[in-house]
Structures are given as C-alpha cells and as structure tokens.
Amino acid sequence: MKKIILSAFVLLPFLMNAQESLIQNVYARDYVTLNGSWNYIIDPFDMGYYDYRLQENPNGFFKNRKAQSKTDLVEYNFDTSPLMVIPSDWNTKNKQLFFYEGSVWFKKDFDYTKKPGKKTFVYFGAANYDTKVYLNGEKVGEHIGGFTPFNFDISEKVKNGSNFIVVRVNNERHPEGVPTINADWWNYGGITREVMIVDVPDVFISDYLVQLEKGKYDHIVGNIQLNQAKAGEVIEIMIPELKVREIFVTDEKGFAQISIHAKPELWGPENPKLYEVVLSREAEEIKDQIGFRQIETRGKEILLNGEKTFFRGICIHEEAPFRQGRAWSPDDAKVLLGWAKELGCNFVRLAHYPHNEHMIREAEKLGIMVWSEIPVYWTIHWDNPNTYANAQQQLDEMISRDKNRCAITVWSIANETPHSDSRDVFLGKLAKYARDKDNTRLISMAMEVSGEAKDVSKVQDNMNTFVDIISFNSYLGWYGGKIEDMKTRKWNIPYDKPFFVSEFGAGALQGKHSSETEIWTEEYQAQLYKETLAMFDKVEGFAGTSPWILVDFYSPRRQLNGIQDFFNRKGLISNNGVKKQAFFELQDFYKNKADEYK
C-alpha cells in the first residue's frame, strides 16, 4: 500500500499543474459559501479510493452510491455518516481522530442555479495535505500542500438544482513532503479553511497586482491578467480617494501593464492607510483595499518608507485562541493579532507556513507587518526534484494570493535547515524564484546558530548572499547554556546586513511559580526574556526579533506529563488565554523600542 500512496508524489509536478491559476481576491467575487455541516467517513485503509488489489477504484466513495434494493451491496453511506463543521480539523472535532493520520472523506449537498455567460469554480482556502475533489461523481482536480489555496473550474460539471461534492483529504506525512515527516506542530487534517462556489464572467480578471514601484513614492505600477489570451479588452482602474481613473487595454496574451502617476499616503504601523481600488471591465467589478509602502535594507538597517525601523515581533502558529485546533476565521485573526498589538508588536512572523487570508488582511488593517513562510522545515529531501517542485509550488501560491497585501514585508523560504551543498542549491533556487516573482519585499529564512564557543556565538550560512536579512533562531539558556551566560556572550555575525532573531524563548507552564532558576516556571521564562533582549540589544545591526511564541500550541513532540501534556509551552499566553510574566517583560522592551524609534 505504501508504494501506491507514494506514487502520488512521483507524479507531483503533473498533479500540481492540474489546477487552474488561482483567482486573485476571491472574497471580492460573486460567491456562495459551502461552509457548514459536511458528512464524513473515516477511511484508514483507503478502501474508498483503492480496490482490494490496491488499484484506484473507479467506483470509489466519490460516487456517493446509494443502495437501490435490499440486495444491493454498498458498504458506505454518506447520508447516515456523522457530520463535521467545515472549516475545521478532524483532530479536535472527534476525539478518536486526535492522533489520526490517513484519509477522511467529506460530502456536501448543495443547490445551484447556473448563470448564463458565467464560469463556475470551487475554491478551497486550504486542506491538509493531499486533496482530491469530485463533483457529482466526477473528479475535478487534486492538490498537494496543506496551507495554500486552490480552485478548479466546475462549469461543465455543476448542474442546475441538486449537486454533491465529495473531497478526500489525506494528511499522512511523507519523507519527501513539504513539510517532511518531522515537525514541531500538530498535523491537523481536514478541510481547514473556507470552501466557496465562485461565479465569474466567461472572460474575467483572474489576477492583478497594484503597488508602488520599487524605490519610488509617486508611481503606482502593476499588471492585470485575464483568464484568456484576449487582446483589446478595456479595463478601468479607479482609486477614488486619489482621484485616479485610468484605462488600460490588454495585449494578445490578455495582459496589461499598469502605470499610474499618483502620490498616495503611505501605509505603516502608526498609520495603516488603505485605499479602495476598483478594477472593472464590462459587467465585472472587483474592489480591493490596498496600501502603499516601501520596504528595503541599507547596510545593517531595515527601512520602512525610507525610515529606519525595528521589527517588534512575535511568532504565531495558526492555532485557534481559547480552543485548540486550526484557526481560520476573521474572529480568530482579531484575537491573535489583538494580543500581538497589546504586546506592542508592529510585526508578526506567521510560522511555519502561510496562514489564512483573514490573518493577513486583519494584520494590514491593524498596521502589523508580516513575515510569511513556506514549510521548508528541518530536514527536507534536498536532492529530490519532486520535493523542490512541491516547495516552489507552495511558494508560488503563497506569493500569488498575497502579493497585493502591503502588510507582508518578508517572504521566508525555510526554517532551521541543516547545511549541505544540496540544501544550498535547493534554497538558492527558491530565493531566486521568490525574488523574480516579487522584488519589492525582503527575502529571508530562519537560520541556526552555527557555532558556540564559551563566550562567542557565530552565525555563518552560505545563504547569506541570497537573503536581505540575516535571521536566526537562538535558544541560549534553554537548549544549552545558562541564562547567566548571556551577560558575557559575544556574537559574530560577519555580514553587512541587518540581523533579526527569528526565535528565542523558554517553556513555562502558566501558573507554575518558583525562583527564576527553576525551568518551566513563569519566573524562569521571564528572566530568560529579560537577559536575551538585553544581550542582543548590545549587538550592532540588531533590527528586530520575533520570540517563540505568542500562545501555547499542540505538538506531539511535547509529552512531559503534568507540564507539557502535548503542548509546546513556550507561549507568552497559555492555551486558555492567560498571559504569563514574560508577556509583560517583552511588552516593556517593545514600549522602550517604540519610543527609541519615534
């Protein structure tokens, strides 16, 4: 069975190119949601997908068969199977599935009225990890990757009246996957973000980019792409507040360049200014909220809109506040980012994968800059071309969805990866791909401290030539060394670039108190924060930090009974929403930094 399952990854480049280009700004389109109750069937042996010879079964569960008589053998029934609310993860919705890794089938009935002159898509915000989608018993597409959106054209398969959609989601980990089998977060399975039926014109604006030209403050540039190679299509762009109304015409590829002379008010943490931007053609109108800003580096400084800035950050997992499970909603985003704002953050590192679109848009409204990352994490299969294709596809989908979101200032390509020639080639290609696709943001990755002597720590990585910020994770005082070592610790970071401490921290069980020398206590965690921040603040080029992490989160690696209980306890806030002492230690540091950079 294992060989059959892994064969999907042999065909990975084909599978990932099977879907249509991602629809930009799906929430501005004509859509209906399929969120709500779905029937589900747990399928640990994949009997709904394979026959007993382990061949793909043409009459699998996706057919949604019904017994037509008392002698008709059908060994499943979606209509009598239990219900699960979607979006969600199955791990926290069904206790039997807490540790489950395998296949689950989901089915939803819906009514639809076909609209003349329209194309119809089914859009998924994300599903983890290997997703196969069927409409009315016919396959419409499949997608690999657990944290990026995908859509399929169902115009020829959707019917007037009653329809059903069946989705097989498999979250088994694979050595050649992205992420690979080894990680430090929960492998939530399921349809974890919103599902929508989207109607667009037969010829429609499938993609667009609107931003300030790099290095300029009075020139808005970008492009527009139709879904068809159709020349002569007239597209109007309006930015009413700037009194902009411009006409652009597509070329033979259905593509148009944007060039607008205007001087917008700049977006930033103190003034998160967003403009309504309207794109229209014939009966189609798309509205977006877009901010304009510049982000760059100069020597050891990070400049936002030409001014030196300090990234006052925190890491966040896409885990729901107050309850466990995948976060996905605007309300989840408001709570998590509200805590970050209360902490004094102007920056968040969304680890270790692209978060849902609501998170990015809410950060933009709050004036919080964002580090967005793909899950190239720890020991990836660097020499496997399909693994690279998977990583690049996820990078492409991340940038494609969020390229108009000015809050994103950093694209990150990896976290804590071991050094090797093949790793350098792999990550170098990803960095180049990201920069070719978007040269207006900073490129980085979370490196590791490469050498520890008694009094000196060193950061040295061949990827230094590909990144704009030297970012690294440091756990001195937790994974080696003592807190008192920080008072005399020196740092060797031999690059004329700003450095950013992408992680540091210590575990603490909220409510456990003792002296600051006892681990797992709030006092120890707070003292580690105090000394770590003081240590790095003395090092030239210190441009920001995002300690690990905002909230305690589920991790199967963290098993210590009575302390961890399958939670990573490095959060500044407990999984129940209670702030620990270290929260206020970091809050005070950020208040001083904000005053320093006024």
Which CATH number belongs to the domain containing residue 178 in this structure?
2.60.120.260
Please give the residue that has the higher pLDDT: either 2 or 472. Answer: 472
| 190 and 232 belong to one structural domain | no
> Is the dihedral angle over the CA atoms 509, 511, 512, 516 positive or is it negative?
positive
Residue with token string 């209906």: 32
Residue 564 pLDDT exceeds 90? yes
Please provide the average confidence, as pLDDT, over all residues in the chain: 95
- So what's the pLDDT on residue 3? 33
Say whether pLDDT at 13 is over 50. no
- The residue range of the domain holding 479 is 304-506+520-551+581-593
The reply to whether 574 falls in a domain is: no
* Dihedral sign of CA atoms 96, 98, 100, 104 in order: positive
Long-range contacts of 536-542 (CB under 8 A, 24+ apart): 536/491, 536/501, 539/491, 539/493, 539/499, 540/300, 541/300, 541/470, 541/493, 541/497, 541/498, 541/499, 542/498, 542/499, 542/501
575 inside domain: no
pLDDT per residue as tens digits for the range 171-225: 999 999 999 999 999 999 999 999 999 999 999 999 999 999 999 999 999 999 9
The answer to whether the CB of 547 falls within 8 A of the CB of 504 is yes
251 and 191 in one domain?
no
User: Which residues make Cβ contacts (< 8 Å) with residue 315, sequence separation at least 6?
Assistant: 348, 349, 351, 502, 503, 546, 547, 548, 549, 550
- β partners of residue 222: 210, 258
In a domain, 209, yes or no: no
Q: Which two tokens stand for residue 282?
A: 């014939």
Query: CA 88, 62, 98 angle in degrees (round to 5)?
Result: 30
The pLDDT assigned to 208 comes to: 98
Task: List the one residue out of 207, 233, 238 whose CA is nearest residue 220.
Answer: 238
Q: What pLDDT score was predicted for residue 454?
A: 74
Regarding whether 195 and 95 lie in a shared domain, the answer is yes
Please indicate, yes or no, if residue 512 is contained in any of the structural domains: no
For the stretch 28-87, pLDDT in tens is 999 999 999 999 999 999 999 999 999 999 999 999 999 999 999 999 999 999 999 999
Return the CATH number at 253.
Answer: 2.60.40.10
What's the rounded mean pLDDT across residues 547-560? 97
- How wide is the angle at C-alpha 435 spanned by C-alphas 433 and 440, nearest 5°? 150
Judge if 152 and 279 occupy the same domain: no
Residues 44 and 148 both lie in one domain: yes
Residue 423 in contact with residue 449, Cβ under 8 Å? no
Return the closest-CA partner of residue 513 out of 497, 504, 505, 524: 524
Contact residues for 95 (Cβ-Cβ < 8 A; gap 6+): none
Q: How far is CA 280 from CA 153, 205, 283, 416, 451, in A?
A: 22, 9, 8, 44, 56
Q: Answer yes or no: is 315 within a domain.
A: yes
Count of domains in the chain? 3
Of 244, 261, 293, the residue at which a domain comes to its end is: 293
Answer with the one of 171, 200, 229 that is the final residue of a domain.
200
Q: Do 91 and 182 sit in the same domain of this protein?
A: yes
Which pLDDT band, with edges at 50, 70 and 90, does 452 fall under?
low
Q: Decide if 476 is inside a domain.
A: yes
Asked which of 247, 264, 293 is the last residue of a domain, the reply is: 293
Same domain, 252 and 395: no
448/416 Cα distance (integer angstroms): 6
Instruction: Say whether both 285 and 161 belong to one domain.
Output: no
Do residue 150 and residue 274 come from a single domain?
no
Whether 538 shows a pLDDT value over 60: the answer reads yes
At 490, which CATH number? 3.20.20.80
Task: Identify which has the larger pLDDT, 474 or 598.
Answer: 474
Any idea what DSSP says for residue 561? Answer: T
Is 558 a domain residue?
Answer: no
Task: Please check whether residue 459 lies inside any domain of the structure.
Answer: yes
Bridge-based pairing of strands 369-373 and 150-153 is unpaired
450 in the same domain as 325: yes
Q: Are residues 452 and 585 in the same domain?
A: yes
Do 72 and 125 lie in a common domain? yes
